[in-house]
Amino acid sequence: MQRTRFLLLLILLLTSCSRASPPVPSPASEPAESQAAPPSGPAEVIFTGGHILTMDAASPAAQAIAIRRDVILAVGSESDVMARRGPDTRVIELKGLTLMPGFVDAHSHTVDASGGDIEQFAAIQAAALQGGMTTTTEMFVTPDILNRLKGYDHVRRVLLRFNTYLLYNTNCGEPFEQDWYKTYKQGEDITPRIRNQGVKIFADGGSCNVPAVTFEYPGGYGMGNLYMTQEQMNGVVADAQANGYQVAIHALGDRAVEQAMNAIAAALDGKPNTFRHRIEHNTLIRPDMLNRYTQIGIVPTIFGAYPTCWQINPTTRFKYVAPPEYQSWEWPWRALLDANPGLPAAWHADYPVFANISPLVHLYGFVTRNEVAADGSICQAPDWLKQGAIGVDEALHIMTINSAYALFREEEIGSLKAGKLADLIILSADPEAIPPSQIKDLHVLMTLIGGHSEYCASGYERLCP
């Protein structure tokens, strides 16, 4: 343990120096690279005999899937896939189990939550893998946090695919190091497991100060804290876009969401959102703002799990309570999707803000709005909150291919298709075929990343290549 920590400290010291000059980012408006052709040769592994959910609109279900090296070789009927079998192919019978793409987390803080402790990082990552996550995103990246992540990867402790968003300002609205976010290009691979994706901007409070809303919060919190004027936010987004970056704007309150919308619209100036500019959280959305996501082309990143127990039995953890007359604005996912057909809304675990990193907990929250309490009991969502629930199929797409889209990675991950990376999971049951109340009882039996089993449930070793 001491030797590992010494090596990590040495790595962090060696990598802490800034680059001599930041590279000029390439335009984010370039289309994603076309999907790579699947490798030639026979399959190394074939899964068959179960339910395969592809999240591919052209072919949503399949009977079998073949993998060679780190890539999907074929997906489709059993006869077509078995035609890729060779003398050394391992055929794994699913026996009715469900196989689907791994979950893609578009926004969390796992490295920050580790506190620089590599074993704590490993424990958080293990919980994510056990929940079926294959890709995650570090959304508050300072030089220190990036150096930690690079250090973890150097000693081969990074198993998930990581994306980074470099910080523009802090969660308290204070300016960060000038031009830090320009250190890496949009889409640049920092290491084989770490890819830089864009810039993180805070519009309002939440983790520090108070979310900015258009009404008075009870408890003397006023209308919250907006960190910039509209003109300032417009300038920040325009500058990031001019340098080729996607922006991810933290906006909790409706006043902040509207400001972010206005700034993105101003930067795009009527053009399509090829930068895929995002708004994070979107926790309070006024009804008159709902259809602006499609009008502008904004990608909203939203929560699955909801603190329902807190709504029933208020604690001091979430202090900013919308008055009853504004509750329908809170997490209105059903209304958001209905107002924006085809909207590529993405999902974030936002760990450790929500302490359970398991995607299945968030899937359960999406479709029921209930919460599993610490003692295992179920906190039932009140009627106003249930109205925001969405369907299982909608939630699964949000948590896989849509989140990959938000990260410019839909050509690599997020669905099961020949030529894509072999990132997939096996579940104990089909979430689309069971009552929503039973989703919380699902188990991940295997998590595969790039063709390698990174998690294998005890007793199910036969499933794990």
In tens, the pLDDT along 131-145 reads: 999 999 999 999 999
In tens, the pLDDT along 287-333 reads: 999 999 999 999 999 999 998 988 877 665 667 788 999 999 999 99
Work out the pLDDT band at 40, boundaries 50, 70, 90. confident
pLDDT at position 317: 64
Residue of 121, 189, 139 lying closest to 409 (CA atoms): 189
The domains of the chain are located at 45-101+419-463, 103-406
Q: Does domain 103-406 have CATH number 3.20.20.140?
A: yes
pLDDT at position 13: 35
What is the rounded distance in angstroms from the CA atom of residue 74 to the CA atom of residue 309? 44
pTM of the predicted model, to two decimals?
Answer: 0.92
How large a percentage of the chain has pLDDT more than 70? 91
**Neighbouring C-alpha atoms within 13 Å toward the C-beta of 411:** 9
Work out the pLDDT band at 25, boundaries 50, 70, 90. very low
CATH topology (fold) of 45-101+419-463: Urease, subunit C; domain 1 (2.30.40)
- pLDDT > 70? residue 22: no
What is the rounded distance in angstroms from the CA atom of residue 413 to the CA atom of residue 61? 17
- Average pLDDT estimate for 412-424: 98
In tens, the pLDDT along 408-417 reads: 999 999 999 9
In tens, the pLDDT along 212-271 reads: 999 999 888 999 999 999 999 999 999 999 999 999 999 999 999 999 999 999 999 999
Max intra-chain CA distance, the chain: 72
Q: Which residue has the tokens 């695919």?
A: 161
Q: Is the peptide bond before 31 cis (omega within 30 degrees of 0)?
A: no
| Residue 12, C-beta contacts closer than 8 angstroms, at least 6 positions apart | 147, 148, 151
Work out the pLDDT band at 35, boundaries 50, 70, 90. low
What is the rounded distance in angstroms from the CA atom of residue 369 to the CA atom of residue 201? 28
- pLDDT > 90? residue 457: yes
Q: Any idea what the Cα angle at residue 416 is, between residues 412 and 421, rounded to 5°?
A: 35
